[in-house]
Amino acid sequence: MEEGSALPVVTKLVTQERIEQYAEASGDFNPIHIDPEYAAATQFGGTIAHGMMVAAMVSESMARAFEMDWYKTGRLKLRFRAPVRPGETVTASGKVRSASRLDDSRELRCTVGVRKADGEAVVTGEAVVSVKLS
Amino acid sequence: MAVEPSRLTPGVVVSHRRFELDDRTIREYAAAVDDASPVQVDAEDEARLAPPMAVAALMLRGVVNDLDMPGGTLHTGQELEFVRTVRAGDELDCTATVARSSVRGGRWFVVFNLTAEDGEGRTVLTGTSTLMMPGE
């Protein structure tokens, strides 16, 4: 990957079933995610996905691109900008913004984000990874 | 009773828990996020490695479960640094500490420092979570 290279695109349909699965897996049972009645009375008017569930798409994209280097050296800085509701399709994408040489590796700084089908940004941020030079 | 955000002052430890990240937990996590990236395997002993975001989810579990957050609390920001890989079956000590807090527009913004250490006391993941809580 070089400066300007695109990261693998990850697209998913968010469903209430998947949100409930994530609640079980993460232990986060905040009613805004899993209780439709409670959530209907909030500013969102219904349940929303966990931010970290959506953020996982960014990590999946980085893992596809950089495999073990991502697992060992990855850094993420993300802002959650908008809620994702069941039934919405979201896409994680990004590109390498800069590449710099370190001693025995290259550090790649990537602009990353997740958007809805209409282009609304739900997650924005930066991912950094050090790739071992062979 | 929900926590009063003004009590979340820097240095307060809100959670300290030990979790075992077993293979089942990893599989449930991967299924929940529908992660199709290839499973990473440790080169030395071929053990299955946990996706780092599964470790991050465990770190946050302590905050979510031990802090009775007021209704309307939202997760607004997340920083993570993956330091070491975690193998299936590893036990993790996860600690969440208040880093700082501020009030803006009648809402509290509380930043937590998160750390996860393996059974040998080595840091495997660090990060910060920013939560926005209602109330003044």
Return the residue matching tokens 């908008």: A82
The DSSP 8-state label assigned to residue A134 in this structure reads: -
Closest residue in chain A to residue B40, using alpha carbons only: A68
Residue B39: per-residue pLDDT: 74
Which chain A residues have a beta carbon less than 8 Å from that of B33?
22, 25, 53, 56-57, 60
Q: Which of A2-16, A85-99, B4-18 has the lowest mean pLDDT?
A: B4-18
Mean pLDDT of B67-94: 92
**A2 part of a folded domain:** no
Task: Find the domain containing A85 and state its range.
Answer: 10-14+49-132
Query: φ and ψ at A20, to 5 degrees?
Result: -70, -35
Q: What is the percent of chain A where pLDDT is above 70?
A: 100
Which residues from chain A sit within 8 angstroms of residue B54, using beta carbons?
25
In-domain check, residue A87: yes
The pLDDT confidence band at residue B136, using thresholds 50, 70 and 90, is: low
Mean pLDDT calculated for residue range B9-25 = 92
Question: B54: nearest CA in chain A?
Answer: A26
Bridge partners for A11 per DSSP: A91
Which range of residues forms the domain containing residue B127?
5-134
Q: Is A132 on the interface with B (CB under 8 A)?
A: no
Residues of B in contact with A43 (CB under 8 A): 72
C-alpha to C-alpha distance for A59 and A10, rounded to whole angstroms:
10
Q: What local confidence, expressed as pLDDT, does residue B36 receive?
A: 78
Q: What is the domain count for chain A?
A: 1
Residue A79 lies in a domain: yes
Higher-pLDDT residue of B38 and B14 is: B14
Give the domain CATH number at B36.
3.10.129.10
pLDDT surpassing 70 at residue A76: yes
Residue A5 located in a structural domain: no
Q: How does pLDDT run across A88-119, given as a tens digit for each residue? A: 999 999 999 999 998 889 999 999 999 999 99
The average pLDDT across A24-41 equals 92
The answer to whether residue A91 sits within a structural domain is yes
Question: What residues contact A52, with CB distance under 8 A and at least 6 apart?
Answer: A22, A26, A28, B53, B56, B57, B60, B75, B78
User: The domain spanning residue A87 has which CATH number?
Assistant: 3.10.129.10
Residue type, B43: A
